[in-house]
A and B are shown apart, each in its own frame.
Chain A
Amino acid sequence: MSGIIGKKIGMTSFFDANGKYIPCTVIEAGPCVVTQVKTNEKDGYSALQLAFDEKKEKHTSSAMKGHFALAKTTPKRKIVEFRSFEEQKNLGDVITVELFAEGDFVDVIGTSKGKGFQGVVKRHGFSGVGHANKSHGQHDRERAPGSLGASSDPSRVMKGMRMAGRMGGDRVKMSNLEVVKIMADKNVLLIKGSVPGAKGSYVLIEK
């Protein structure tokens, strides 16, 4: 699966040729440098290691400086491996948004926005108790989870019981998003609809 590393910039919308209003996410994608080619013989699996986003030399460890020097490139911030890349690439090759074409359907992987410690209504979609009328005898526990299970028979809470806890900050993949526009001069991809993650966070775009 071919892919590229990008950075979520923000969202906007525009009218397309048919007069439809298209909401889209702006992603600065690439240019990514191939910093390592992993092969079956040497590493036990084949993959392409890509690096993206400039980084200052003084913030780079000596080990990483050497790694980037092998690919004859400057230090980069984000390094990601892509398994089974369709195109044949060599060390030091540059991958740009030209990997994609307008109208392609891609998968986008990002880290969802952290929501903190959330209750079961927000986290698992429990319906809660009627908010407006506070019915069923509830007056101050409209978002409580209710019973966790039966009584003395299991005498314990079942495994996997959905409860309150940390929400968000997960790796989320969204499939079949349309590439509506490519601005190759600025390395920009416009993808229809929203994409997981906060502005400025890294995303992976896979074809």
Chain B
Amino acid sequence: MSLLLDYVKKQLTAETKHPKFKAGDTVTVSYKIKEGDKERIQQFSGVVIQRKNENATATFTVRKMSNGVGVERIFPVASPFIDSIVLNKVGVVRRAKLFYLRERTGKSARIREKIQNNKNNA
């Protein structure tokens, strides 16, 4: 990619205070929804199955099971409508895009949780 385009994209990227997360993590996204002139917050929590693009155009996809039906939602990271992102669980996965989860349900769709090493953190 052109260096100038890179520069412009960095300039357009708003600073976000969201925690670091990757594919395989479980997150809760609080999303502001406008209804007329009222605003309310809707929460969407599930597994991040991909992160895509970078800088101003970056998005991530969250997948959850709702009444036995898989629901996926794509959020732009830079969206001003994202109120907050809470990192619930850090998962251990071996690839960056978890599309294989779409064919799986129940036990086989589980993702191993990363065991936090308290010794290192302290």
Contacts and interface: CB of A to CB of B under 8 A. Distances in A.
B8 A188 contact: yes
Contacts of B7: 186
A26 B76 contact: no
Nearest to A21: B76
SS class of chain A's interface: helix, strand, loop or mixed? strand
A12 B12 contact: yes
A15 B4 contact: no
Given A15-B14, A26-B8, A183-B8, A10 B78 contact: no
B5 A10 contact: yes
B8 A15 contact: no
A173 to B, nearest CB: 24
Interface in A4-31: 9-10, 12-15, 19, 21, 26, 28
Contacts of A129: none
Contacts of B8: 9, 12, 26, 183, 186, 188, 190
Contact of A183 (B11, B14, B55): B11
A26 B1 CA distance: 13
Which of under 10, 10 to 19, 20 to 34, or 35 or more describes the interface residues of A? 10 to 19
B29 to A, nearest CB: 16
Contacts of A12: 5, 8-9, 12, 55-57
24 contacts: A9-B2, A9-B4, A9-B5, A9-B8, A10-B1, A12-B5, A12-B9, A12-B12, A12-B56, A12-B57, A13-B57, A14-B12, A14-B13, A14-B78, A15-B14, A15-B76, A15-B78, A15-B80, A19-B79, A26-B8, A28-B4, A186-B4, A186-B8, A188-B8
Interface of B: 1-2, 4-5, 7-9, 11-14, 55-57, 76, 78-81
